[in-house]
Structure 1
Amino acid sequence: MHIGRRTSPMRILFGLLAALCLATPALAQSRPVTVVELFTSQGCNSCPPADAYLEDLAELDDVLALGYHVDYWDRLGWKDTLGDPAFTARQYGYAETLQRRGVYTPQAVIDGRQHLVGSNRPAIETALAQKATREAPMLSLDTGDGSTISISLSGADGSDPSLHLTIVRYIEEAAVPIERGENAGKTIAYVNAVRSVKAMPLPDGNATLNVPRLQKGEGLAVLLQAYSPKGAPGPILAAARYEAVDD
C-alpha cells in the first residue's frame, strides 16, 4: 500500500454514498468503542473458548467484536469455511507493527495496539477497562433515509498521512459443522465473522464508495486506523458499525 501525503481539516465531515438498501435509518456508534479483532480458525482446537468469548463481547454496546478466520490451519485436514488469505495477511501485518516474529491462534488484537490470547478473559477485560481512560476521536455513521451513509469524524489529525478508513463487512452469526481436523464432530457458533476487509485513504472532502447491498444478518464496520508505510495495520483510533435489520 502506498501512502501519500494529504491536507485535510481537523474536523472531517463527508458523505459516504453507498449502494446499501438498508432497512432502518439509525445513528450508529456515536460514542467511543473498543475494537477486539479475534484471529481464529475452525481447525484450531484451542479456539472454541475464544470464539465463545467473542460472542459475549459482541453483546457489549461499547465493544466492536470481529472474527477473522485465518487459513494456515487448513493443512490439518479441514478448510475453514470462513477463512481468507487476506485475514492471514492482516494478522501478519499486526505481527509487524506489534513487533512479533510470528502469529498464533486464538489471538485477540485490541484497538490495533496490543495482542492477547483470545480466550484470556481477565486480560482482555483489563484492556477494555483501560480504554475508558484514553481520549479518542469520535466516529459515527448516520444511515439517513436508508440509501446513504454519512460518516462524521472529529478529534483526529486529518493531515496525518498514515490514517485510513478500514471498511469491514461481516456476518453476524454462522453455525458451522466441522467434519475433519482438530475440531472434527463439533458444530461451532461464530459471531461477526468477517467476510471482507479493505483500507482506503481518508478523502479530502466528499467521496463516494460503492458497497454491495447489505442483507439481513450482515454488518458494516468503519475503522479509523493508522497504517505503516508498508501497509501494515496499526492503532485504531475510532470505530463505528451498522447492521442491517428488517422493518
Structure 2
Amino acid sequence: MQYSNSLKFNSAYGDALRVFVSWALALFLLFLVQSVNASEKPNKVNSISADAENQALVTLKQAYKQATQDWEYVLANYVDEEGRTNFKALSEDIAPLENVVSFIGFASPTATPELFTSPEDVMSYHINSYNALAMYGVVEKGIPDGFTSFFSRAAFFKFRNVVIGGKVTNLYDYENDVIRPLNEPRAHFALNCMVKDCPRLPKTPFYPEQLNETLEQLTYEFFSKKKHFYLDDKRKRAYVSEILDFYTEDFVASGKARDLPQYINQYIEQPIPSNYKLRFIDYDWRINAQPEQSMVSTSINRDVDNASSQAAKNPIVKAALTLHSNESKTAGLAHAPASELAPLLTPNLSSNESTGAPFILTSTPNQTTVLELYTSQGCSSCPPAEKWISGFVDSEKLWTELVPINFHVDYWDYLGWKDPFADSAFSKRQRNYKRVGKANTIATPGFVLNGRAWNGWFRGQPLPNKTAPLSGVLHASVENDNIKVMFNKINASNGSSLLMVHAALLGFGIETSVKRGENAGRKLTHDFVVLDYEKAVLSSETDNARAFQYETSLSLPSNTDVETTKRALVIWVSYANEPSPIQVAASWWQ
C-alpha cells in the first residue's frame, strides 16, 4: 500500500524544535566565548565566559540525552521482535525520530568529539545514525514498497542528501567513506537500510559498553537464518547473503569471494566443506514493514525532566553526562569550522494535515545565499535572465543553500504592457540598494546577491562559492493565515537595532502571453515570482550571550488568482534601514 508523501507531525514537534534551536544557540555561544577568550591574556580569569561555556556543554549533553531517549522510544514502539518497522504508525508520531535526525545533523565524532571518547562510542554513534537516517528516509519518501530497481536504490542511497555533524552527504557515501574505514566487518550485520534482507533491526539502540557483545551476537544470528545462509548438500553449494558479495574485501584480506568461507566458518557450527561452491542469495529490496497495527505501549520515558533514572541505565547517556569539559576539549569544539557546528535545522517545511498542526520553517545558523532578480515583462532583455534563474528549480542546493527570488518591477509599465506581477514596492526595494551604496544602477535585468549588486551573470560566471557566515536561526510557524516568527541573531550590527521580517509567496511555471510592449507576441514563462508580499517589524530582547532574540507575527501572503505548477514560501529578515537579507528560510509551499 502506498502512503502520502506528507509526513504527519504531532504537536510535540514544535516544542522539540524549540529545544534544538536553544541547543544550537548554546553551542554558538560556546564558539563566541572561546573566540573571545583566545584573544585575552592567558592568565586572565573570565568567570562569566566560564559559566557560559559550562552552560553550553550542559545544553549539548542534554540534547544528547534527549536524542538517545527518542531513539529508544522509536525502536521500542515501532520495531517488532523480527526487526520489522511499523512505518505507518511511525509516520503519525514522527517527532521523536525527527529529533534523532536533528541531533545527528549537529553532532558527530568530528563535529563534537567531546561526546565520543572511545572507538565504541564512535561506532555505536555511526550504526545508530545510519539506521535512524534510513528509517526516517523511508517515511520521508512516503513509505515506498521497496528499492527493487537500480534507479530507486540510487535515488534513495546516493542522491538523497542527509546531514551528519553539519556536513551534507548521503547514505552511500556515509557507509563507504566513514563507517567502512573503521574496519569493523561485523557492522554490516548491524547496519539496516530497512529492507527485508537487511540484518534484524534490534528493538534497542547500540550502546558502546556492550557493542562488542552485541555485534558478535548479531553476526552469529545472521548466519543462523536460512534467508542469509544455508548449505545445499545435494548440489554441494553454500548460499550466503549478497552482503558478503557487496563488501567482500571487508571480510577477507584477499578481497576474493572464494575466501569468504574463512570468515563465515567462525560463526557457524559446521564449517563449509572445502569442495562446496559459494553462491550468493539474491537480495530482497522490498521494505521490511510490519502489517498495519496500532502502536504498542511501552514504559520508555521521553520526558527530559524525568530522565535521570533512564540515563543511569543508558551507557550512551551516562557517557554524555560524565564528559569532562576541560580546556583542551572545549577549545576543540569552540574552534571547529562553523559548518561542523551547524545543527540539522536545514530549511524545512512540514505540516500535519489531519490535525491542523502548524507548518514549521527553520533556517540553518549560517547565512543562506539569497539571489534576487529584478525583472519585467516589459523588458526584452529579461527573458534570458529569467530562463537562467529557472535552472535552479531542480537544484539540490535549492532552499538549503540558495534562495532565488524574482521581483517584477513596475517602472517599465509605461512602455505599453502592464506587468501583472509588478509592484511599486519591488521597484522601491531595488532603488534602496542604490540608496545605501550596494548597487550602482537601476536596470533590468538586475541581480543582487546577498544584498549586493552582482554582474556575474552578464559575464557568464557561475554563482560564487563562499563560506557562509554565522547570522542566526530564523524560525517560523505558519498556522491558518498567521506567521509567528522568532529570530535568534548572532551579534553583528550595521548600527540599527530595528529589524524587519518579510514573507513572500513565490509562484512557479507561470505562463503569460504578452500582447504589447517590447515582448509583444511572446509567451513568457516565470519561476520564483513573488505573487504576494507581507512585512512587519521584529521586536527584540537581548540576552547575555552577544545574541539577540526577536519575535513578531505577520499575515500569511496569499494569492489564489494565479495559475502555478507549484509554490514556495520565503521568509527573510533585514535591518529596517536597508534591504539586504540577514537570514532567510524557505521551502516548497503546499
From 38, 41, 46, give the equivalent of 2:381.
Answer: 46
From 523, 535, 554, give the equivalent of 1:209.
Answer: 554
* Structure with the largest fraction of strand: 1
CA distance in 2, matches of 1:206, 1:101: 34
Are 1:240 and 2:568 an aligned pair? Answer: no
CA distance in 1, matches of 2:380, 2:481: 42
- CA separation of 1:191 and 1:169: change in aligned 2, threshold 3 A: same
* Structure with the largest fraction of helix: 2
Higher Rg of the two aligned structures:
2
Task: Give, in angstroms, the shift of residue 156 of structure 1.
Answer: 2.7
Task: Give, in angstroms, the shift of residue 54 of structure 1.
Answer: 1.3
Match of 1:172 in 2: 508
Match of 2:529 in 1: 193
Does the CA-based 8 Å contact 2:502-2:573 persist in structure 1? yes
Residue 219 of structure 1 aligns to which amino acid in structure 2? A
CA distance in 2, matches of 1:221, 1:184: 31
CA distance in 2, matches of 1:23, 1:185: 44
SS at match of 2:532: strand
From 112, 132, 153, give the equivalent of 2:487.
Answer: 153
Does the CA-based 8 Å contact 2:378-2:419 persist in structure 1? yes
- CA separation of 1:178 and 1:117: change in aligned 2, threshold 3 A: farther
Does the CA-based 8 Å contact 1:106-1:119 persist in structure 2? no
Match of 1:224 in 2: 573
- CA separation of 1:90 and 1:222: change in aligned 2, threshold 3 A: same
From 428, 434, 455, give the equivalent of 1:89.
Answer: 428
SS at match of 1:79: coil
- TM-score, length-normalised on structure 1? 0.73
CA distance in 2, matches of 1:98, 1:110: 14
Match of 2:463 in 1: 125
CA distance in 2, matches of 1:39, 1:107: 5
Task: Give, in angstroms, the shift of residue 102 of structure 1.
Answer: 3.7
- TM-score, length-normalised on structure 2? 0.33
Task: Give, in angstroms, the shift of residue 89 of structure 1.
Answer: 1.0
SS at match of 1:125: coil
Task: Give, in angstroms, the shift of residue 210 of structure 1.
Answer: 3.0
SS at match of 1:167: strand
Match of 2:33 in 1: none
Structure 1 runs of 4+ off > 4 angstroms?
22-27, 117-121, 145-150, 212-216
Match of 1:15 in 2: none
Does the CA-based 8 Å contact 2:534-2:556 persist in structure 1? no
CA distance in 1, matches of 2:492, 2:535: 16
Q: String of CA shifts for 1:184-238, please: whole Å, max 9, x gaps.
A: 221111012113334322123654323255768343211121232xxx42x3121
Match of 1:28 in 2: 361
Match of 1:104 in 2: 443
Task: Give, in angstroms, the shift of residue 118 of structure 1.
Answer: 5.2
- Once the two structures are superposed, the pairs formed by residues 73-84 of structure 1 within 5 Å of their partners are 73-84=412-423
CA distance in 2, matches of 1:181, 1:50: 18
Residue 237 of structure 1 aligns to which amino acid in structure 2? I
CA distance in 2, matches of 1:184, 1:196: 25
If asked which structure has higher relative contact order (CA below 8 Å, sep 6+), I would say: 1
- CA separation of 1:101 and 1:35: change in aligned 2, threshold 3 A: closer
Does the CA-based 8 Å contact 1:30-1:141 persist in structure 2? no
Does the CA-based 8 Å contact 2:438-2:451 persist in structure 1? no
SS at match of 2:379: coil
Q: String of CA shifts for 1:48-77, please: whole Å, max 9, x gaps.
A: 111011111343322111111111112222
Does the CA-based 8 Å contact 1:23-1:244 persist in structure 2? no
Match of 1:14 in 2: none
Task: Give, in angstroms, the shift of residue 103 of structure 1.
Answer: 0.3
From 340, 360, 372, give the equivalent of 1:37.
Answer: 372
Does the CA-based 8 Å contact 1:106-1:118 persist in structure 2? no
Does the CA-based 8 Å contact 2:506-2:531 persist in structure 1? yes
- CA separation of 1:99 and 1:158: change in aligned 2, threshold 3 A: closer
Does the CA-based 8 Å contact 2:503-2:556 persist in structure 1? no
The answer for unaligned runs of 5 or more in structure 1 is 1-10, 12-21
CA distance in 1, matches of 2:583, 2:373: 18
Residue 74 of structure 1 aligns to which amino acid in structure 2? D
Q: String of CA shifts for 1:130-171, please: whole Å, max 9, x gaps.
A: 2x343332324355x878755443343498524221222222
Does the CA-based 8 Å contact 1:23-1:146 persist in structure 2? no
Task: Give, in angstroms, the shift of residue 173 of structure 1.
Answer: 3.1
Q: Matched residues, percent identical?
A: 25
Which segment is superposed worse, 218-227 or 112-121?
Answer: 112-121
Task: Give, in angstroms, the shift of residue 97 of structure 1.
Answer: 1.6
The RMSD of aligned alpha carbons is 3.0
Match of 2:499 in 1: 163
- CA separation of 1:142 and 1:197: change in aligned 2, threshold 3 A: closer
SS at match of 1:194: strand
- CA separation of 1:59 and 1:106: change in aligned 2, threshold 3 A: same
- CA separation of 1:201 and 1:171: change in aligned 2, threshold 3 A: same
SS at match of 2:511: strand
Match of 1:134 in 2: 469
